[in-house]
Structure 1
Amino acid sequence: MKITPEHNGTKWMLICLGVFLLVFLAIGCAERNNIDQSTIDNQSEVNSSGETISTEPEHSLALSDMSVKITSQGHVATFQLYDTVAAKELYEQLPLELDLTNFRDAQWMFYPPNKLNVTAQEAYHDGKKGELSYYEPWGDVFMLYEDFYAGDEMHRLGICLTGIDEIANMSGSMQIEKDEINQEAEETKMQISVQANGNTTIFELNDGKAAKELYEQLPLTVDVEDFSNDEKIFYPPKKLDTTNTPMANAKSGTLAYYAPWGDVVMFYQKFGSAGGLYELGNVVSGGEHIKNMSGTILIEKA
């Protein structure tokens, strides 16, 4: 059958209409996808109660050169205090002999004679074993010997340096005093703090030349990176001299230097040894935070 020009015109109109509908549907699907993704993004910032969750990292606190010793029933624990108003006010009240009260089988608490002044900056703690904190509503200082929970009215005072497993065995009365002997000993040690995501991890460095050169470069603000499934790494501005530096047999908490790449490595799982891997030191406290480090970190002399 011969097709007339009129039939040709109708055919082309139908084809154009079909193409237009396909384009319209494609645009609609793209917009739907954008809306759905926006909804997902918004929901990711809302918790189950409908409250907005802040994506900003918690504020980090610097450690001071103040340390205290707590003794009870022959058990001793030492704590390094943060550089905060409340920590300084507690330190100024020492020495003290006070009664301990247990709370929920997770902490020992005591009441200093004078309440401590706190700031919003200090109103956070991780709720982890070994923390020394202050609960403003009750006016008590408490030591955690089990993981507890974090709360905005719990103000960080310090972290445990030694005797973390001794805290649970304390009871009755206790003595808290300035640990001046420990402070003198600490002056001969090189310790660094790594602050990331509102958490602080302390490493004690060895006497190797590489560790000393890293220490001399501080403070540093650098990006931390994931590597493999057992370590976090960062790159100091200057490479380190590994003369007189021991080879590493890395375990969880080891701080090391991988000379071929020039990166510092923080291990959160056992690794072992490798060519070019040198030990810089080991974790003192906060090792549980290494695995979750991300973004920009601050490294300072502790």
Structure 2
Amino acid sequence: MRLEMKYNGARFAVLLEDNPASRELIAQLPLELEFSDYAQKEKIAHLPKPLSVKNTPNYNPQIGDVFYFSPWGNIGIFYGKQPPFNGLVYLGKILHTNNSDDIETLKNIKGNFVMRLYTQEL
């Protein structure tokens, strides 16, 4: 499955991991979520319902990853380096386009912003 994220004309395509948390996120879509900057490394938004993290391993985060942070119940996108942290669950990866640098676009968004999330079949 593919997740589409839209903000102010910009579109971010995410290839989702096949895991319980990603499937539960898909079940909540479509959503409009308010994102904010956190630690100058990530954009985060709180979900209306928590995702299952049972049997999901911790992982080594990478720039461009879409993740779920179970202690806070939020999803996010890393645009800066982040060390591994307990409670991070990998949901997917932003697919880069030839026409733009999606990570730089996200990084440069100032203040809170609303992004629409919906699914797209591959």
Which category of TM-score, normalised to the shorter sequence, fits these structures? Answer: 0.7 to 0.9
Hey, what does 1:219 align to over in structure 2? 30
> 1:158 corresponds to which residue?
none
Give the letter aligned to residue 116 of structure 2.
Answer: L
1:289 has 2:105 as partner: yes
Q: Distance in 1 between matches of 2:3 and 2:72?
A: 22
TM-score (normalised: structure 2)? 0.85
Q: Which residue of 2 aligns with 1:48?
A: none
Query: Offset at 1:279?
Result: 0.8
For the aligned residue pairs, the C-alpha RMSD in angstroms reads 1.4
Q: Which amino acid aligns with 1:213?
A: E
C-alpha separation in 2, matches of 1:257 and 1:194: 15
The residue identity in structure 2 corresponding to 1:225 is S
1:265 shift after superposition: 1.4
**CA distance in structure 2 between the aligned counterparts of 1:248 and 1:263, rounded to whole angstroms:** 17
Is 1:262 the counterpart of 2:73 in the alignment? yes
Distance 1:292 1:221 in 2: 20
Distance 1:199 1:205 in 2: 19
- Using CA pairs under 8 Å that are at least 6 residues apart, name the structure with larger relative contact order, 1 or 2: 2
- 1:246 offset after TM fit, Å? 3.0
Cα distance in 2 between the residues matched to 1:245 and 1:281? 13
Q: Does the CA contact (< 8 Å) of 1:252 and 1:268 recur in 2?
A: yes
- 1:244 paired residue number: 55
Q: For the structure 1 residues 299 and 291, does the alpha-carbon distance in structure 2 shift closer, same or farther, using more than 3 Å as the test?
A: same
Letter in 1 for 2:13: I
What residue identity is the alignment partner of 2:21? Answer: A
Decide which structure has greater strand share.
2
Q: CA deviation at 1:195?
A: 0.8
SS at match of 2:21: helix
Measured against aligned partners, the alpha-carbon deviations of 1:128-178 in whole angstroms (never above 9, x if no partner) come to xxxxxxxxxxxxxxxxxxxxxxxxxxxxxxxxxxxxxxxxxxxxxxxxxxx
Name the CA distance, whole Å, in 2 between partners of 1:248 and 1:196: 27
Does 1:196 find its partner at 2:7? yes
Q: Could you say what secondary structure the match of 1:224 adopts? A: strand
CA, structure 1 residues 219+292, in 2 after alignment: closer, same or farther (shift >3 Å)? Answer: farther
Unaligned ranges ≥5, structure 2: 97-101
1:1-302 equivalent positions in 2, closer than 5 A: 190-285=1-96, 286-293=102-109, 294-302=112-120
Give the conservation status (yes or no) of the 8 Å contact 1:268–1:287.
yes
**Seq. identity, %:** 34
SS of match in other structure, 2:13: strand
**What code does the residue aligned with 1:289 have?**
T
* Aligned mates of 1:197, 1:292 — CA distance in 2: 13
Counterpart CA distance in 2 for 1:292 and 1:213 is 29
Encode CA deviations 1:7-59: one digit per residue, 9 max, x unaligned.
xxxxxxxxxxxxxxxxxxxxxxxxxxxxxxxxxxxxxxxxxxxxxxxxxxxxx
CA–CA distance in structure 2, aligned partners of residues 289 and 243 of structure 1: 33
Q: Which structure: greater helix fraction?
A: 1
Deviation at 1:259, TM superposition (A): 0.5
Matched positions, count: 113
